[in-house]
Structures are given as structure tokens and as C-alpha cells.
Amino acid sequence: MKLFNKKGAMLVAALAVAAVSCSDDDDVTGNVVTTDFTGTFVQQDQMGRPGINTVFPTTDAEENAFNTTLPADGIARWQPTFQSKVEALYTAYSNTAGTTLTYENNILGLDLPTLTTALALDVLQVAPNATTNYFNPTTGLPLTGRALSDDVIDVSLILLFGGNTGARFDGNNGTPNLVSDNVGLEPGVIQSAFPYLTAPRF
């Protein structure tokens, strides 16, 4: 299964200017697809878990820098920033509520430094031998994958604002609702068979 087997010489000739024709792509009409796989590709954007760069970096410069921070460097570079951001949100709601509100260890038992350490290493976990969800309320297991139907925003809010019950600020008893944006998967956008997303609607 080598792309260039049929024209092996092309591999050798894959110079910077090369735009190689691949005989694999000769179709019945005789069209030849021109392909070029040469060159150095330089990082523009990256993503592991949902919403991280949307929520935590604050300034334009931080958001740009986050997209080119290697996962090997994520914790050292971003954990303090993330923790400050969460603390600032609690401060804002303290001002709204007229009383001091601070982060409480969440349903996973994680304190704020530990939670923001895990978030700053922005890679998604996916388990080959377990259910694969951002959080599975049945098993209680977090971070074993991200399914198309997972309500990742609510999970993220619960981890940040839910406290040890997951419902600390749920809109009841005079609290603000900070644990759900009240939206779910739209009907008809996913399907059970590959490729799992349904045809577009324009």
C-alpha cells in the first residue's frame, strides 16, 4: 500500500517543486489527479479537549500562544493562567452575590490546582477498553473519550462550578445556574453508522 509504488521514481524526485501525478488516481475518464505531499507543514491550530482555548486563555496573544504550545509544555505554561481565570470567575460571582464565593473541590474530588493542571495539558483521553464519554453519569467515569452526543459544556461547567455534588450552583435556592447552558444535541445530526455525522443541510 505505497502511494508511489507505481511510479517509484517519483519518490526520489519529490523535490520542493514537485507536483506529482499519481497513477492510482487515473479514473475511467482518463483524468489524472495532481498530488503534492512535499514540504514542511507548520502548526496553525490545535485542539484536545473541547472549549479549553475558548474559555481559559484571556487575551488574543494568549489564545494564539495556546495553539502552538506543545502538550509537553502545557502544564508549565498554562496552569497558573487557568487557575487565575477560574478564580476571577468566582470573584465576579462573589460581587454579584454580595458574598465571597470560592471554588469547592468538584465531583471528582479535584482541588483547583489539580483540576487546572489536568486542563492545561490539553489532550483528550480515549479508552480502548471502556465506554468512551467525556463524563459517563452511569459509571461515574470522566475523560474516557468524547462522543458526538456528549454534553461537554455542561460537564465542563459541573467540574468548575458544581462543587462536590455537581449541583452547587444549579439555579435553585437562590443560586445562579452555572452548571448547564440548557441545550442538548439537535435531533438528526448524528447517525449510528459510519461516518456517524449526517449529511449537511444548507
d(CA 141, CA 108): 9
163 binds other proteins (CB under 8 A): no
| H helix or E strand, kind and range, residue 20 | strand 20-21
Q: Report the residue number, 28 or 41, with the smaller CB distance to other proteins.
A: 41
Residues in 167-186 that interact with other proteins by CB under 8 A: 169, 171, 175-178, 180-186
Residues in 18-37 that interact with other proteins by CB under 8 A: 24-25, 33-37
Cβ-contact 162, 168 below 8 angstroms: yes
* Amino acid making up residue 93: Y
Site string for other proteins, 51-70 (x = CB under 8 A): xxxxx-x--x--xx-xxx-x
Cβ-contact 158, 106 below 8 angstroms: yes
Which residue from 107, 112, 143, 158 is in contact with other proteins, where contact means CB under 8 A?
Answer: 143
Closest distance between other proteins and the C-beta of residue 109, in Å? 7
Residues in 91-130 that interact with other proteins by CB under 8 A: 92-93, 95-97, 108-109, 114, 117-118, 121-130
Q: How far is CA 68 from CA 42, 54, 61, 71, 151, in A?
A: 10, 15, 11, 9, 27
Closest distance between other proteins and the C-beta of residue 140, in Å? 9
